[in-house]
Structures are given as C-alpha cells and as structure tokens.
Amino acid sequence: MRQDIASTRCNFIVMNRTLLSLLITFLCASCRNNQLPAINGEATRVVKSGLNFPWEIIWGQDDHIWMTERDGRISCIDPSNGNVIFSFRIPDAESNNEGGLLGMALDPNFSQNGFLYIVYDYRKAGVYTEKLVRYTYANNALNNPVVLIDGIKANSNHDGSRLWITNEASPKIFMSTGDALDQTLPQNVNALNGKILRINLDGTIPADNPFSNNPVWSYGHRNPQGLVMANNILYSSEHGPDIEDELNVIEEGRNYGWPNVMGPCDGGEVSFCSTNNVKEPIWSSGNSTLAVCGLDYYASDLIPEWKNSLLMLTLKNASIRQIKLSADGHSVIEMQTYFKDRWGRLRDLCISPAGKVYVCTSNGGNNDVLLEISKPE
C-alpha cells in the first residue's frame, strides 16, 4: 500500500516535471520570439558581437568577412562561427569621433597579390589628415604600406569614405570624400574634399579623368558614405544636413550641388543648378534625414523580393531600405523599410555569393554586432 502511494506520488511528480518542462520550453520559445519577433528559424543570426564601431565589411574572395573598426583594427572573420582568423591594428590611425579607420576594398586579384586598400585619418605634422593606403596581406600579416592619396582634410565628422574597385580590364578605385566640415572645398575641383575620386590601382591618375591630372571624378558632395557600382552605374548615398539625404547616380565631371544645392534643384537653387549643370539626386529624403550610409546591390535569388534592388542602411532611421530601381537603373520606383529599430544604428553591409546579407551596427560601447540575414521579416 505504502509502495502504491509512493509510486502514485512518484508518477505525479514525474507528470508535474513533464508539465513544468513543457511550460519552460514554451516560455523559452516565447522569450526567443520576443527577442526576434516574426523571424522564421534562422532568418537572422548574430555572427559576432562585442565590436566597436565597425565601419566597413567586405565579403572576400577567401569567403571570409573583412572588417574595419574605426579605432584602427582590421579583422578577418569566419562567417560560419564568428572566429577572428586574422587581426591587425593600423599603427598611425587616429580615431576622433567619426574619423579614424574607415573605408576598405580588396584588390580584384587579392588571392594572388594580397593588396588591400584602406582609408584612414592620422596626424600629419600635427594636422588631422586622411589618406588612402595600400597594404599587402601575406603570411597572415599586413605589410608594405604604400600611400596612394594623401593630404585629404580630415575632421571629427564628414570624412566620407567608401571605396569601390571596378571590374574591368584596367580596374579603377573610386573613393568618396566628405567636406570635413569645410564648405569651401566641395565646389573647388582642385581640393580633394567633398568629391568622388577616381585613380588607378597604383595611385596614378587615369588619363581619361574629367579634369587633367586630377583624381576628381565628381564634386559638390557633402558626406557620401555609400558607394556601389551595379549594371555599370555608380550609385552613392550622401548625408544631408538636417534635410535632404541623397541617393545619387555618379557621372563623370558632374557637380552635385553642395553646399549651394540640397536635394533637387528648387526655389533659389534653380539658377545655380542651370549655371553649374548640377546633377540632381534620384532620391532625396525631403524635410528630414535618415542618415543614409552603407549601400550595396542585391542580385541574388536567395531573397527574391530584394532581387535587383539597392540596399541602403540608415543610422538615425536604424533600418535597411530596399530601393527598387527602374529598368534603366536611373530612377527610384519604390522604397521599402525593413528591420526598423531592431538593432539600432546600421553602418555597412556586404552580400555573400549565396545571397546572404551581412550588416554591422554602429552603436559603440563595444556593443556592436555583425549580423547575417537570410530572409527579410
């Protein structure tokens, strides 16, 4: 009898434990759902946490993610597990608010020559200055820095800078520069600030640049922080002041208006625009700003709803913007917002050959993350 009671009690406890375990499973699933609402399975994944102001991420030919952080560190990350397989600190990079180690690009023949191009701010004879430098990656180290462009004015804000290397027989580097808070520079074609620059991979100036012996390709820019070429069209995202963030199609020798013109040519800007042949943005944000940043082109089948769109990140607006383009790529048909306020400020993205989208945040405090997106919500 006693044994029966004990056995019943035991069964009762086992049953309660089962219920408790089911309840815990259910609650944990709810917790996870609260953290990542409306996400199916592995739609998003944190690849790496504990980053501090990552600025550029690139999918390398080695199937790893190459990343800069503003304080001067370059890392190579295994996207499958977040392991850092290589890390190097640029010795003379000096971080100062939005300045520091910024844009990066890998050479089209990186797997053979190891050439890696970076833009960073440093102290040159006491003056905060920006330069474009080529390093060589070999034997798990970065060596042989070669300065390709120097003497760009730097500041604690408005330093650009993105790099884009073209896919052509004689590849060119495009580089965006900010006005470094000096509004006299963007309209001066002999100054390097407030420009999209174009040079050969060895730093020489292409003979077919619009201004003779000058790296300037386009001018009148404020702070372009997104740059991508797709279908032979060069696109750039650009921060406006308190109004008129812009998405521009960059054309040779054109004037993009800053500081005389913001967004489209209207009101008192019209005469300046016609006198100076100003190229208007294909999209602008109107009476507010989103703080537009990293820009890339989505060509994969993995996320069909994003195929053949630009993806643009925003800092203040904390979202991914999908930009549907017209068939000729020269106008915007529609813009969709994804993941708004999910992870805070978003700085840059890259896309793997499999079509996964990688995004890095820009919140600081060693709390930044590198994320993988396989599906929009």
Which residues would be at the binding site for Ca ion (CB under 5 A)? 256-257, 262-263, 266
**In the complex, what is the shortest distance from the CB of residue 311 to Ca ion, in angstroms, rounded to a whole number?**
21
The structure tokens listed for 44 are 């998003």
Contact partners, residue 131, CB within 8 Å, separation at least 6: 119, 120, 122, 147, 148, 149, 150, 151, 152
**In the complex, what is the shortest distance from the CB of residue 335 to Ca ion, in angstroms, rounded to a whole number?**
18
Nearer to Ca ion, 257 or 294 (CB): 257
The C-alpha atoms of residue 326 and residue 343 are separated, in whole angstroms, by 30
**In the complex, what is the shortest distance from the CB of residue 285 to Ca ion, in angstroms, rounded to a whole number?**
11
Q: Is 265:255 a contact under the CB 8 Å cutoff?
A: no
**In the complex, what is the shortest distance from the CB of residue 190 to Ca ion, in angstroms, rounded to a whole number?**
20
Phi, psi of 196 (to 5 degrees): -105, 120
Q: Is 366:69 a contact under the CB 8 Å cutoff?
A: no
**In the complex, what is the shortest distance from the CB of residue 321 to Ca ion, in angstroms, rounded to a whole number?**
18
**In the complex, what is the shortest distance from the CB of residue 256 to Ca ion, in angstroms, rounded to a whole number?**
4
Nearer to Ca ion, 150 or 251 (CB): 251
Number of residues that make up the chain:
377
Nearer to Ca ion, 279 or 356 (CB): 279
**In the complex, what is the shortest distance from the CB of residue 265 to Ca ion, in angstroms, rounded to a whole number?**
6
Nearer to Ca ion, 114 or 257 (CB): 257
Using only C-alpha atoms, what is the Rg of the chain?
A: 24
Q: What is the edge-to-edge ordering of all strands in the sheet holding 127-138?
A: 101-106, 115-124, 127-138, 141-153
Q: What is the dihedral of CA 259, 127, 104, 310, to 10 degrees?
A: -10
Of 55, 70, 126, 135, the closest CA to residue 100 belongs to 70
Nearer to Ca ion, 218 or 361 (CB): 218
Contact partners, residue 71, CB within 8 Å, separation at least 6: 52, 53, 93, 95, 100, 101
Nearer to Ca ion, 265 or 357 (CB): 265
The C-alpha atoms of residue 176 and residue 192 are separated, in whole angstroms, by 10
**In the complex, what is the shortest distance from the CB of residue 255 to Ca ion, in angstroms, rounded to a whole number?**
9
Nearer to Ca ion, 198 or 254 (CB): 254
Nearer to Ca ion, 79 or 194 (CB): 194
